[in-house]
Amino acid sequence: MTSTAPDRTADATLLAGLYRRMYAIRRFEETLLEMFSQGLLSGTTHTCIGQEANAVGVIDNLDRARDVIFSNHRCHGHFLAFTGDQVGLLAEVMGRETGVCGGKGGSQHLCAPNFYTNGVQGSILPVATGIAMAEKLRGARAVTTVFLGDGTLGQGTVYECLNMAALWSQPLLFVVEDNRYAQTTPRELAVAGSIPARAEAFGIATEALDTTDVLEVREAAGRAVARVRETGGPFFLVLGTYRLSPHSKGDDVRDPAEIEAWRTLDPLRVAGSRVPEAERAAIEAVCEDELAAAVAAAEAAPVAGAAA
């Protein structure tokens, strides 16, 4: 973790806002896992518990009216940070007609204006590259952000797309969320060499940081987004993080002591400890109310395919 912390007193409102969005994502996903364990949900899900600072910190820099995101299987945080649409996502995961994709996509196949996700590792990078091309051709000065993980680095399309994005100078921000594990496989068994050096080899500007502090993520991503917007070319941002939740639902084989040690760097704890307690409690209460309302709305929605 870096020791140079930005001046936090300067923008308490900003921090409180970021904390609120991270808390909402956390509680949303905890609720999903609870619903799964109660048998209320079918299918699967991949939560980003522990990684919320990335979604919130990166996306706070984007312009929702023109910028585009392509995310992966672990996409709820990105979706919620970008759209704020808890009901649409919950209804989607619950298989309701009012889900963002009418229940057809489920947890990892989402679509909203300027936002897409898909479930195959490496599959999304080429499409994001094409989107960045299209937006540049249109002259939109849009930044297209593609989220990938350390596990995705095993896919050849990553390197094809780094090559094309550099070659054609596409406004594409690669965000690698390095959470140290590809499902259950530790990074050391899957990733050789340096992660940033992969992009540097293509002449792409990179920044790597190891932090769960949402303000630090936000600042670094702000530099990255500004650079993509100014140059119209790619940027490769590597965010070291840790997933506190299992890969999916109950499939965790990591040492519980290791997970416990990482809890001290839980992004909610890191940010929340700097928000005055009364304000934090108020934020959390509002989030709980919103979540309860979202659950009620999604539960009340018609089940997709029920009429058939």
Partner 1 sequence: MAAGERCAQVLNRGLTEAFETRADVYLLGEDVLDPYGGAFNVTRGLSERWPDRVITTPISEASLFGVAAGMALRGYRPILEIMFGDFVALGFDQIVNGISKFREMYDDQVTLPLVVRTPMGGRRGYGPTHSQSLEKFLLGVPNIHVAATSECHDLVAMLLDAVDLDEPVFLIENKVMYGRSQRRPVDGRIDGLRCVEEPGPFPALTFSGNDFGPAAATIVTYGGMLPLVLEAATELIVEEEVFCEVVALGRLLPLQLDPVLESVARTGALVTAEEGSLTGGVGAEIAARAQELAWADLRRPVRRVAAADGIIPSAPGLESARLPGVRDVMDAVTALVAAGV
What residue ranges bind partner 1 (CB under 8 A)? Answer: 68, 100-102, 104-105, 109, 111-112, 116, 118-120, 122-135, 137-138, 156-157, 160-161, 163-164, 167-168
Cβ at position 171, least distance to partner 1 in Å: 13
Nearer of residues 123 and 274 to partner 1, judged by Cβ: 123
Would you report the helix, strand and coil content of the chain in percent, each value rounded to 5? Answer: 50, 15, 40
Distance CA 212, CA 298 (A): 31
Nearer of residues 50 and 88 to partner 1, judged by Cβ: 88
What is the side-by-side strand order in the sheet with 115-117? 111-112, 115-117, 68-71, 144-149, 172-178, 235-240, 205-210
Distance CA 100, CA 91 (A): 7
Using an 8 Å Cβ cutoff, are 248 and 119 in contact?
no
Nearer of residues 105 and 154 to partner 1, judged by Cβ: 105
Nearer of residues 31 and 108 to partner 1, judged by Cβ: 108
Cβ at position 100, least distance to partner 1 in Å: 8
Cβ at position 165, least distance to partner 1 in Å: 10
Cβ at position 55, least distance to partner 1 in Å: 21
Cβ at position 195, least distance to partner 1 in Å: 20
235 half-sphere exposure, CB direction, 13 A CA radius:
25
Nearer of residues 132 and 173 to partner 1, judged by Cβ: 132
Cβ at position 193, least distance to partner 1 in Å: 21
Nearer of residues 98 and 212 to partner 1, judged by Cβ: 98
DSSP 186-239: EGGGT--S-HHHHHHTTT-EEEEEE---HHHHHHHHHHHHHHHHHHSS-EEEEE
Using an 8 Å Cβ cutoff, are 76 and 28 in contact?
yes
